[in-house]
Amino acid sequence: MDQAKKIAELLDREAIRDCLYRYCRGIDRADEAALRSAYWPDAHDNHRANCGSAEGFIRFALSVFKSGPRNIIRSRIS
């Protein structure tokens, strides 16, 4: 593998890692902007509780995690 391909692979891996971090932060903090930034606008998501558009999953996840006690406690700490 030549140098340019190695660099391109590393940049791709970093972009994927960044996307995963945004998704995790979005779920953990019920941060809608972070969660939305992890998906393409026309993305499809398949979680057991929701299978369909990413938009549907985002609405579902935020409704669950914004009302959960873990986020209430976290918001008091932050």
Q: Along the 78 residues of the chain, how does pLDDT read in single tens digits?
A: 799 999 999 999 999 999 999 999 999 999 999 999 999 999 999 988 789 999 999 999 999 887 766 645 454 554
The pTM of the full predicted model, rounded to 2 decimals, is: 0.77
Instruction: Write out the residue range of the structural domain in which residue 22 sits.
Output: 3-77
Residue 61's CB is within 10 A of a number of other CB atoms, namely 19
**How many Cα neighbours within 13 Å face the side chain of 30?**
17
Instruction: Tell me the three state secondary structure of residue 23.
Output: helix
Which tokens hold the place of 7? 């660099």
Instruction: Tell me the three state secondary structure of residue 44.
Output: strand
Please give the tally of structural domains in the chain. 1
